[in-house]
Structure 1
Amino acid sequence: MEKSKNQTKGSRTKILLRLLKLVNSTSPWMLIVSMITIVLAAASNVIGSLFIERLINNYIVPLTKEKVPNYGPLATAIAVMFGIYAIGFLSNYLFNMLMGILAQKVQYRVRNEMFVHMESLPISYFDQNEFGDIMSRYTNDIDTLMQMISQSIPQFTNSALSL
């Protein structure tokens, strides 16, 4: 099986940068807000995990040693932990919604640009290429781009920040 000429590491980076430029030019504010919410979601996930250790060591273990435990500080700490996870949940929801909308806008734009370009192609192009190959670019390849924008890039960013 023959490898595509686009399989080099440098060309993949160029393609990713080109895709990010396209996404940024389509709706820069959505991209910025979604990146901020990705950072918030990753931070709340990490802080929430670290807070559980603090909750056990500083609140729950001392309560087991008291004869008459005071649950007030524990309730406050649990409320803070709930707030941290709520911020993470809302951030996660918001960035998924924004990236989904942004991916649809990019998909619409790319398909329109492809259609306009296709109208300028000579008839010989259509004679030399299979109709299924042309339609595959309109459907499968653009859907793959949409999936990358809406799922892969945000998930990679979130995982990298969590790490």
Structure 2
Amino acid sequence: MKTPLIALASALLMTAVPATSQDIIVSAEEAAAVELISRELDRNLVHADWPRQQARGEGVAMVRFQRDADGRAVDVEFYRRSGSSSVDRLARRAVKRLGRNAPLPALGGADQIFQANIIVANSEQAFSNFASKLAKLEKTRLSDPRERRVFAFTASPRKAS
């Protein structure tokens, strides 16, 4: 059985060309916080995916959440489901665990929205296809000025164990 690639794919906050002329500016503090959250989410994906008892589906899950006063992920909900119940379960489980080991950084106001874009793919080619699809979805999403205040984050693709 091939092991799927599970990645927290970028919301392209720093790399996508926005559909509007307004640039997106990310401070060093925000970039460091995004990196911290990304690493924790990647660890949670490993934990949520173990033990692997059956093959996972494939897809892109876009999960939104907020940070409570204790630094934990709350109000976890899907912005966009992957189309695979196993991918959605994995993504939701990993996001719900954020802030358990160390509080999430306080960014923005009390109502700051975070978004985790998680790709699960069974091959490099499928991952590439999903990443292209995600880039298009994010370009469309970022064309709405209200969406620009959503913090999204990334981690490197990895092979699931």
TM-score normalised by length of structure 2: 0.29
Q: Which has the larger strand fraction?
A: 2
Q: TM-score, normalising length from structure 1?
A: 0.28
Greater relative CO, 1 or 2 (CA 8 Å, sep 6+): 2
Higher normalized helix content (fraction of residues)? 1
Structure showing greater Rg: 1
